[in-house]
Chains A and B, each alone.
Chain A
């Protein structure tokens, strides 16, 4: 997030696109509702499903899956046409505005409405609402990113926010909501093939040199493999070994068959986890890890806030904190690794990561956390980014063109399936699946279909059906609900042998993200 969670209270207009906030980030969802109820903030929601928070919206647009850019461009078209954009901001703080104007000129409200399957009037109303607010914030989640056009979707969002002067402003911003507790931190820590901690590029010689010196070793200067490529290389046989730590790709990643094939083709797999999950079953060695309650450390939340994780109980049996396992293994491998606490590791990381440089366990003791960038010990942390000017100087408009999803419905697979999270489960259920109450609330996978679709398929609520895509077939239970429109179906992705057996692994070439939000399926009644 460019901005902070508590700034929601200052937003006049809140635009949620591609995020089922009340189910997936409930505490933020409540905060948004509170802003509506108590401060009179107005809400715009765009989503393929009529999600709960859409009830609170001034304007709700039920867009077809994969049409985000068309909608956003169309909104910008209206805003530019009606001269509602923040001219001074655009003039002084951004560049390439004319490129944006040129691109979005092809997306009138009428054009956008047709692509997205919504009312042109709603697009106009939403555009005016967003543009006329003194300060408006934008929230999005995987509904924006998990597309082959994911990166362009994000750019379109950034364009809209910049156009109305909402970046670098308290209560505004472009705010991705991170689905997992430390996905922000894992990225910040350089658990990515192209960057070291703090997004320092592996290809830059000076960066490489810095880390070589600090780590006292030689480092490679080429970008590594991302998950989809790792899987491909496993299948091709170029990759021999995979060290999987706290992950369960057998459930979380699209096209399960493809993953299974890849993993089975490997020579050696290590799985380090708190439970023996579907992926662990395929491993050669399984290492028992301590969970969050059994170790010291830090998480970085969706608003860039670094907060402490503290040990409350002893790990079961011989399980050990991950950092202990990793440092012991590194020592075994002949690399001198003598950390005596998590705090030691943090300090080393902070010394190499400018945006974390001013953060230390001592400063985190007060339980208020610190938001990066926090470059020095006397820096209070950064509530919102791009204040006064953009990090790169001028904000650059990078117009995006609407491109269709990789897989569109056709005669054989007539329905669009989209996927997502639900309130009572978490990720691949390694944790939530072992909590009795949560499991009772959401015991099994299902597929949401509209009553019209149900009528066409001649199925009723609760009936088992067969769902097939180009990648496979699963059986699941029907949930007839008007949350989805005719022709669109939804499945939660948490369940093994569920949605991800059939989702599309096609990826966004820029970010490597898979298009799990759109694939074409058919549903058949089980006779």
Chain B
């Protein structure tokens, strides 16, 4: 890639010719705040948090949309820039409930983080009009609180550009602009497929998964793993509080690019389901009785030995699982072949 020279915060630096100012800054370790930016989306330039000062430009420019040019002089944190960001945050928070104490998004909210960073308290425009719109909880998997929405547009763009369902869009003009869906009858009556990709990208608490267990972002431990549903192999992060999975976030896996479907995003509740088998069971007279592992193993082992002796290894067969891990499957076929002595092993690949 061809390089060019820019002057950023007073220092000369070499960057890729095709970079935006935001990418250039990132490559140089300079953090520029963004809310509406997502590398996978066409830059939107809506939130105006990433504005920077460029010499000879009439107004401030958004780093996310402006390409670098040879010799460009950029200041990412001048007083003018900081003041602009502060006012932008003041405006956002002025039309946003100040309910961080009870908001489940606290600790994972970009608006909260930036207000903290830029010392924005929400006092400047206190007393001004705020939205008072009904919360849409018609969808079974997530809620939409338009009062918390800061109209960054990520949900709409993810639904349109990545998920390609285009279930949601904008309605109204000016201050009345809001995220909506056809005829505003409730999300559940739209073409929404509940993939939750909008929920995953929402920077504030407007789109939230329906989860009964309350947790704070800092309380959960995150573990990256592979989704256990279809064969796409989406990468997910399981959020765990007190040994319970309380949420799933998409990870930027090579197969899923940070996207998920309804099952991957919201279909985790079987993990902690009370119906889970917790103890070995042995059937006696048609009724299952709880048993110890040793009792179960002993019974199975004796049965195997008995049948093998009487009818030969080939009178035993094993069904392995397309839902279990490679390691599990390897051992299952190894047990059938090496220990029981038969190739009678198959699984439901055909279903």
Residues of A within 8 A of B (CB): 5-6, 22, 24-28, 30-31, 33-34, 36-38, 142, 145-146, 177-194, 196-197, 202, 211, 215, 217-220, 222-227, 230, 233, 238-247, 249, 252-253, 267-268, 270, 273-276, 283-289, 291-303, 305-314, 316-323, 326-330, 332-335, 339, 342, 345-346, 348-349, 367-369, 423-424, 426-427, 430-432, 434-438, 440-441, 511-514, 516
Contacts and interface: CB of A to CB of B under 8 A. Distances in A.
B335 to A, nearest CB: 5
A6 B165 CA distance: 19
B271 interface: yes
Interface of B: 140-141, 161-165, 193-195, 210, 221, 223-235, 238, 240, 243-245, 251, 253-257, 259-264, 266-273, 275-283, 288, 291, 293, 296-301, 303-305, 307, 310-311, 313-351
Contact of B300 (A187, A285, A294, A426): A285
A275 B275 contact: yes
A179 B230 contact: yes
Nearest to B252: A367
A115 B315 CA distance: 44
A288 B193 contact: no
Contact of A246 (B141, B257, B272, B323): B323
Contact of B164 (A30, A186, A249): A30
Given A245-B318, A431-B270, A326 B253 contact: no
Contact of A193 (B266, B341, B344): B344
Given A246-B324, A316-B272, A318-B278, 18 more contacts: A27-B261, A179-B230, A179-B231, A186-B324, A219-B341, A220-B337, A276-B275, A289-B277, A295-B325, A297-B324, A308-B226, A313-B243, A326-B335, A330-B339, A339-B331, A349-B330, A368-B254, A512-B350
Given A227-B346, A317-B278, A239 B317 contact: yes
B327 A345 contact: yes
Given A37-B164, A307-B233, A297 B326 contact: yes
A253 B346 CA distance: 13
Contacts of B228: 181, 291-293, 299, 309, 431
A186 B349 contact: yes
A302 B223 contact: no
Contacts of B272: 313, 316
A217 B319 contact: no
Given A182-B326, A268-B307, A192 B345 contact: yes
Given A245-B332, A293-B245, A298 B277 contact: no
A196 B223 CA distance: 32
A41 to B, nearest CB: 12
A146 B350 contact: yes
A150 to B, nearest CB: 8
A301 B231 contact: yes
Contacts of B233: 181, 299-303, 305, 307, 369
Contacts of B232: 5, 25, 27-28, 177, 301-302
Contacts of B251: 367
A314 to B, nearest CB: 5
Q: Which 8 A-B pairs have the closest CB atoms?
A: A317-B278, A301-B233, A246-B321, A297-B325, A224-B343, A178-B231, A33-B164, A26-B261
Given A181-B228, A197-B333, A220-B313, A342 B319 contact: no
A274 B276 contact: yes
Given A288-B278, A437-B141, A437-B210, A182 B271 contact: no
A435 B303 contact: no
A312 B240 contact: yes
Nearest to B313: A220
Given A226-B346, A245-B319, A285-B296, A293 B225 contact: yes
Contacts of B315: 238-241
B326 A185 contact: yes
Contacts of A436: 140, 269
Contacts of B305: 333
A312 B248 CA distance: 12
A514 to B, nearest CB: 7
16 contacts: A25-B232, A181-B229, A186-B347, A189-B329, A211-B337, A219-B341, A226-B346, A246-B324, A268-B307, A285-B296, A291-B228, A292-B228, A326-B328, A369-B254, A423-B262, A424-B262
Contacts of A222: 343
A297 B328 contact: yes
A286 B277 contact: yes
A299 B264 CA distance: 15
Contacts of B293: 318, 320, 328
A441 B243 CA distance: 28
A515 B191 CA distance: 33
A57 B46 CA distance: 33
Given A186-B322, A240-B315, A435-B270, A319 B278 contact: yes
A264 to B, nearest CB: 12
Contacts of B261: 26-27, 423
B276 A316 contact: yes
Contacts of A327: 331
Q: In this complex, which of A276, A288, A296, A302 has the most chain B Cβ atoms within 10 angstroms of its Cβ? A: A288
Contacts of B321: 182, 186, 191, 245-247, 322
B323 A180 contact: yes
Contact of A293 (B161, B271, B346): B271
Contact of B231 (A25, A224, A241): A25
A191 B140 contact: no
Contacts of A275: 270, 273, 275-277
A224 B225 contact: no
Contacts of B225: 292-293, 308-310, 312
Contacts of A211: 337-338
Q: In this complex, which of A177, A286, A427 has the most chain B Cβ atoms within 10 angstroms of its Cβ? A: A286
B231 A30 contact: no
Contacts of B298: 332
A225 B324 CA distance: 21
A486 to B, nearest CB: 26
Contacts of A191: 320-321, 329, 332-333, 345-347
Q: In this complex, which of A146, A253, A293 has the most chain B Cβ atoms within 10 angstroms of its Cβ? A: A293
B350 A189 contact: no
Contacts of B194: 437, 441
Contact of A189 (B266, B276, B330, B346): B330
B330 A190 contact: yes
A180 B348 contact: yes
Contacts of B337: 196, 211, 215, 219-220
